[in-house]
Structure 1
Amino acid sequence: MKLKLLVLLLTISCTNLLKSQTPTDYLPKEFHKKRREILRSKMPSNSVAVVFANPLRNRANDVDYVFHQDPNFYYLTGFREPNAVVLIFSENQTDANGNSYNEIIYVPKRDPRSEMWNGKRLGVAGAKEELGFTMAKTSEEFTMESLDFKKFDNVHIVKFSDDYRNNSRDKGETYDLVNAFKNKSGYHSMKIKNPNVQYIHKAIANVPDARLEELAKNLSKSLEIYPEYKKDPLINEYISADSDILRKELKQKIKLSLNKRESNIDFKLLPEVLAEMREVKTPEELKLLTKAIRISAVGQIEVMKAMQPEMSETEIQGIHEFVYKKYGAEYEGYPSIVGAGNNGCILHYIENNKTKVGKDLVLMDLGAEYRGYTADVTRTIPANGKFSPEQRAIYELVLEAQDAGIEVCKPGNQFWQPGQETKNIINEGLAALGIISSPSAKHNYFPHGTSHHIGLDVHDPGTYGAFKENMVITVEPGIYIPEGSPCDKKWWGIAVRIEDDILITKNGPVNLSGEAPRTVENIEKMMAKKSILNDFVLPNLD
């Protein structure tokens, strides 16, 4: 008896020790439970929401990519493993044993052999204890149960990307879960419309009668660019109609087809509701997101101090990501962008393989992911520590535009306003510098939008309407002048983007990444400081 008690105490002690050595600042289970309750309150009666975890994705041969959870699934459950599905019901359900429940999660079963190779699984008991679900089963059970999805008026899902791989390891992989759902729900018999075709159907349904012929002509020109239009009989009929009378009839026919439901499966509600929920952050989320942003800002600071002309883009990337790991950030929020000179003109440049940055400007767009929440911070600095006159002129123009964009980030203002402010200033500034002929001249030196939400995704979902308190968005104007541009050669190869993460508050915008220097003077001052990495010299391997 004493021996059994000793073993039990040792087991508890070891478990507590292991827990104390792992992060404890993840979102609490109560947070995720509240998200499910909010979602349930927005669902119509007699409906169910079905959300799948991300699958494992193969890198090469028998090696998988590091797993990253689907953000919506994590938001609703807190579960960080693959091969799972959660069902959230609008009303209570009753199982065969008379148990009442309004949600159920299916998770991978415990498997000692698999866990020996890939780490401990939470399992059914863990899902109940640590995630707060009263009803939990194994993923394999989901594939075998005779769930009747056809009894619901609405089955809410997010459209499948269909990139699931059958690893043939377990019967409860995401591949199997998705296929089981499709079979149980009648999904296979649905006619899934091409999004581009559906967009055109909506355009025809809403076109004013006075512009019926004009739209038909424009669509006719699009046939070669979008061959899927040719395959749709309604679009073809509309284009070939020889009178507005026929076009009106087809317009009405298309309206009816858009309103007709062929199935109880609904793709609309879940993305819309989750976007509305996720765009405004709770205090718990803001704490984690702010930490991710500050980690990223410190990374920018340390690189400013360590930067040398003989560094490579890869080495610069490595310093950023070392800082992230030093603070305990699990991942980068997206592939790191470090572009020197002309490479900075490639908006999503991730090769980062230039061996020496020299005297170029180095555009560094990186963000740490901390406990699921992702920063997005960009700084552009001169590799030799001093801006040239041309580099300085472009940089200060972008900074002026960014300041103006940040200023309008206030509750009630529209999401497009920072973009409009920045574009006006950049167009006027480019004209004043002689890079474009006039502020109204068309150009491609600022080809992207200015703002997006951040959160569990670097491009977090949102309604993109008016600003609300506790949204966190980016403001990121840029100017990119690639070699060969139609302007004086002295500007060629200059690329500048300044990006900060802005919290919307009733008292005005708060720059959460502002501790990373933004002005020319403060950047040059920071770059003149000694770095702790200056004495970190590795042996020559050549």
Structure 2
Amino acid sequence: MNSDARHLTLPADFFRGNRTKLLEQIPEPCFVIVYAGNPVALSADTDYRYSVNRNFYYLTGIQQSGSVLVMSKSAGKVNETLFIHPTDPIRERWNGKLMAPEEVKTLSSINEICWLPAFEDRLSDILNQSGINFCLDFSNHRSEAQALRGRISELIQNVTVTDISSHLTRMRMVKKSCEIKAIESAIELTGNALAATAKKMSESVSELLIYADLDYEMAKQGCLIPAFTTIAAGGENTLCLHYIEPDNQRLAPGTLVQVDIGGVAGGYSADISRVFPIGGRFSTRQKQLYQIVRACQEKAFSTIKPGVTLADINRVVSDVAVELLRDMGVLSSDQDISSYVWHNSAHHLGLDVHDVSFRYEPLCESNVLAVEPGIYIPEWGFGFRIEDDVLVTADGCRLLSSRIPVNADEIERMILS
């Protein structure tokens, strides 16, 4: 992997191919308009950190806020235009360099690059045409697309406005080779961060130190914004699935720490979970539960193949958990497994950590999943999940995160090495 994840870019042919495939699915004549999105105000003149509309990025390779993609197709002829903020020395003093048209052309393979103020004139021309199929991206209830739909409805009677997000969801579910390589790069930097931080857990440390060290180790590799808020939950806090308020109190030796972490490279996410014993040794009870969760995960791996559903994975994981927890005497014969298994065991992974999908449909080749069986036992004061990322192949799956230690003895060696 490149030592700086920010330098990883996907080929322009990939984005051009995505645009071509999308237009093939839309009746002509059509106009497609997709917004990159804008920063959300935090307070006064300060914004939350900007995150691009993933569908816009998937079609263009551009992550600059405010940008707009306009495509049209009529009688087989395709036109593509990308509208971007004009370069502005005053604005750049405050917020950094804006992309130049030539840079945008290189990344996106779109030849017509216009300044954003010209978009309104282009939009007025589009709205004056009749018999057009207007296609917008309403993913995540995008406010710009909603506003434009209202404007179209006011100006044009009996008009059809098509939501293209379902087309893009189906496309994004099937990963190309360059996407898989980006995910593998994200996994690699995530594994590096885990390995470096695990060594700190040989002695008493706090959740906050673990959390900060994980983010620091990812940032050193160019991942300044993780795929999600890093989780470092110790002791009973492992029973909170999305624990994001790490404490500064030192954890006693023998305490378990649930780590859930995901780096990003080329816009694509990793999602890895591990559990570590402070001091470097699992207790007998901790190791027993660890082996059960690992058995659940291995059963999930052996089940995954084209034609299987996420519900099938949940079912086989639950069956293993029921059998082994009953053997341990934790689960009574009349007790439901939902007392200890609290979440699904797999989800799609890609540009988003919980990537878009039609989750009730069967898997197909080139899907990428995060597989995360978890068991949580409040009576014991702890629980955890173990999570790895896999690629669905023609006849099974390939473990993408195989280089990250996962077995209990390997975890102990990570800490004590």
TM (norm. structure 1) is 0.70
Structure 1 range deviating more: 361-370 or 330-339: 330-339
Task: Give the distance between the partners of 2:141 and 2:310, measured in 1 at CA.
Answer: 32
C-alpha deviations, 1:208-237, integer Å up to 9, x for none? Answer: xxxxxxxxxxxxxxxxxxxxxxxxxxxxxx
Q: CA deviation at 1:361?
A: 0.9
2:403 corresponds, among 515, 518, 524, to: 515
Task: Give the distance between the partners of 2:177 and 2:343, measured in 1 at CA.
Answer: 31
In structure 1, the residue matched to 2:88 is 111
CA RMSD for the aligned pairs? 2.6
Task: Give the distance between the partners of 1:474 and 1:286, measured in 2 at CA.
Answer: 13
In structure 1, the residue matched to 2:152 is 185
Amino acid paired to 2:68:
V
Q: CA deviation at 1:56?
A: 0.9
C-alpha deviations, 1:336-360, integer Å up to 9, x for none? Answer: 1111111111111111225222232
Give runs of aligned pairs for residues 371-410 of structure 1, distance below 5 A: 371-410=266-305
Task: Give the distance between the partners of 1:184 and 1:105, measured in 2 at CA.
Answer: 21
In structure 1, the residue matched to 2:183 is 289
Contact 2:186 2:269 in 1 (8 A): yes
Is the counterpart of residue 147 in structure 1 residue 125 in structure 2?
Answer: yes
Is the counterpart of residue 134 in structure 1 residue 111 in structure 2?
Answer: yes
In structure 2, the residue matched to 1:431 is 326
In structure 1, the residue matched to 2:382 is 494
Amino acid paired to 2:257:
V
Aligned-pair identity in percent equals 29
Distance 1:129 1:389, change over 3 A: closer
Structure 1 residue runs without a partner (length 5+): 1-20, 94-99, 165-174, 191-261, 483-488, 530-542
In structure 2, the residue matched to 1:539 is none
Look up the SS of the partner of 1:350 in the other structure.
coil
Amino acid paired to 2:209:
E
C-alpha deviations, 1:248-303, integer Å up to 9, x for none? Answer: xxxxxxxxxxxxxx641122xx1221111111111111111101012112222222
Q: CA deviation at 1:380?
A: 0.8
C-alpha deviations, 1:26-66, integer Å up to 9, x for none? Answer: 01222111110111111122222221112112233322222
Q: CA deviation at 1:459?
A: 1.0
Is the counterpart of residue 505 in structure 1 residue 393 in structure 2?
Answer: yes
Contact 2:50 2:65 in 1 (8 A): yes
Contact 2:287 2:408 in 1 (8 A): yes
Distance 1:326 1:439, change over 3 A: farther
Structure 1 range deviating more: 419-428 or 439-448: 439-448
1:102 corresponds, among 79, 93, 103, to: 79
C-alpha deviations, 1:161-216, integer Å up to 9, x for none? Answer: 5686xxxxxxxxxx6x874x3464127999xxxxxxxxxxxxxxxxxxxxxxxxxx
In structure 1, the residue matched to 2:205 is 311
Contact 1:182 1:188 in 2 (8 A): no
Contact 2:206 2:250 in 1 (8 A): yes
In structure 1, the residue matched to 2:366 is 470
Task: Give the distance between the partners of 2:313 and 2:141, measured in 1 at CA.
Answer: 36
Contact 2:348 2:354 in 1 (8 A): yes
Is the counterpart of residue 302 in structure 1 residue 196 in structure 2?
Answer: yes
Amino acid paired to 1:368:
G
Give runs of aligned pairs for residues 180-219 of structure 1, distance below 5 A: 181-182=148-149, 184-186=151-153
In structure 2, the residue matched to 1:454 is 349
Amino acid paired to 2:236:
N
Distance 1:153 1:438, change over 3 A: farther
Distance 1:141 1:407, change over 3 A: same
Look up the SS of the partner of 1:379 in the other structure.
strand
Structure 1 range deviating more: 502-511 or 334-343: 502-511
Task: Give the distance between the partners of 2:285 and 2:373, measured in 1 at CA.
Answer: 18
Task: Give the distance between the partners of 1:515 and 1:307, measured in 2 at CA.
Answer: 20
Look up the SS of the partner of 2:310 in the other structure.
coil
In structure 2, the residue matched to 1:86 is 69
Higher relative strand content: 2
Contact 2:5 2:222 in 1 (8 A): no
Look up the SS of the partner of 1:393 in the other structure.
helix
Look up the SS of the partner of 2:125 in the other structure.
coil
Structure 2 residue runs without a partner (length 5+): none
In structure 1, the residue matched to 2:138 is 159
C-alpha deviations, 1:309-360, integer Å up to 9, x for none? Answer: 5311121112222221222224201111111111111111111225222232
TM (norm. structure 2) is 0.90
Question: Which protein has the larger Cα radius of gyration, Structure 1 or Structure 2?
Answer: 1
Task: Give the distance between the partners of 2:102 and 2:406, measured in 1 at CA.
Answer: 50
Q: CA deviation at 1:126?
A: 4.0
Structure 1 range deviating more: 123-132 or 471-480: 123-132
In structure 2, the residue matched to 1:534 is none
